[in-house]
Amino acid sequence: MATRLVGTQAPDFTLDSTKNLETLAEKVSLKDYEGKWLVLFFYPMDFTFVCPTEITALSDRYDEFQDLDCDILGVSTDTKYSHRAWINTPREENGLGHINYPLAADPSLKISREYGVLLEEEGIAMRGLFIIDPEGTIRYQVVTDDNVGRSVDETIRVLSALQSGGLCAADWKPGQKNL
């Protein structure tokens, strides 16, 4: 069942993460991002084929998000240990290599369920992406088929449109006038 979260307060979370890749002892929570924009995205599983293309594409353009006062957090139902192993695997071997933001672990499935992206029978998250504003309100959500990767360009475009504070026409791009 589809869940509309746009316009609501983002469900709170505290999850194990790869913030400290060596110890894996640092958790990540929604409160860590108060006062900034956040791109929170869910993906199905570590060590798959489409997921690393999205994760590394977002990481490669992390500075652009930072310039927009936005951070990024990826979440799957895999464990922090699986996340670390995937990050420690080079890109040439279907790994992630170094990435510029943490991955969070939701093995309890609770957060994936609260964001409406959990495939219950499989126990994995769908490809869901949420843009959360500095006050914690979800301003954008998109969920796609597992076979289709998300566009970093479109994510930056929508983030910029939301930050513009005005009405943005179809195909609006940063720098263009609002309606």
The full set of domain ranges for the chain reads 36-164
Run of H or E including 125? strand 124-125
Query: Tell me, what's the pLDDT at 1?
Result: 52
CA distance 112 to 130: 12
Encode pLDDT of 1-39 as tens digits: 557 899 999 999 999 999 999 999 999 999 999 999 999
Give the list of residues 6+ apart from residue 171 with CB closer than 8 angstroms, or none: none
Arch. (CATH architecture) of 36-164 = 3-Layer(aba) Sandwich (3.40)
- pTM (2 decimals)? 0.96
| Exposure string for 46-68, b = 16+ CB within 10 A, e = fewer | beeebbbebbbebbebeebbeeb
- Give the active site residues: 51
